[in-house]
Amino acid sequence: MAANMNKVFLAGNLTRDPELRYVPSGTAVANFSVAINRPYKDASGERKEEVSFVRVVVWGKMAEVCGEYLTKGRPVLVEGRLKSSSWEGPDGQKRSALDVVATNVQFLGSRGERPQGSPESQESRTRNGDRGVESINLDEDPGMGDDVPF
């Protein structure tokens, strides 16, 4: 039998402020995107940079904390799993998306600090002002299943 694993780690910067909503049951859900830069040299030796934009979905208490403390440009480390979804658009075309459902979000850098350099080289601050990394961990999904309200 083949083994399966669905685990993702991303370090990047928020492209916009998180969008926080609540499903009818009262559970919080937040959406944001992370930009991940990959510098490289092309065949001629010229330095280039490739940017990937990844959508992230966060549920429960962690969603509320992300909505309150994260802002555009803030560096984060996201741990989670990939989830694909497909639907038919208003024009009748089939659409699909691949998102990261976060199980752990660590806030990197100081609140209000704009990223400079890699996330590993930046200072981190907890919500109470002590040095460290803000982190909230969910060991499993909050029981929402595949019902996504958007």
The answer to whether residues 56 and 33 touch, using CB atoms and an 8 Å cutoff, is: yes
Please count the helices (runs of H) and the strands (runs of E) in the chain: 1, 7
How many angstroms from the chain centroid is the CA of residue 72? 12
CB 110 within 8 A of CB 134: no
What is residue 112's predicted lDDT score, i.e. its pLDDT? 54
Domain extent listing, the chain: 8-137
DSSP code at position 67: H
Looking at domain 8-137, its CATH architecture is Beta Barrel (2.40)
- Give the 3-state secondary structure percentages of the chain, helix then strand then coil, rounded to 5: 10, 50, 45
For residue range 65-116, list pLDDT tens digits in order.
999 999 999 999 999 999 999 999 999 999 999 999 999 999 998 655 554 4
pLDDT of residue 146: 46
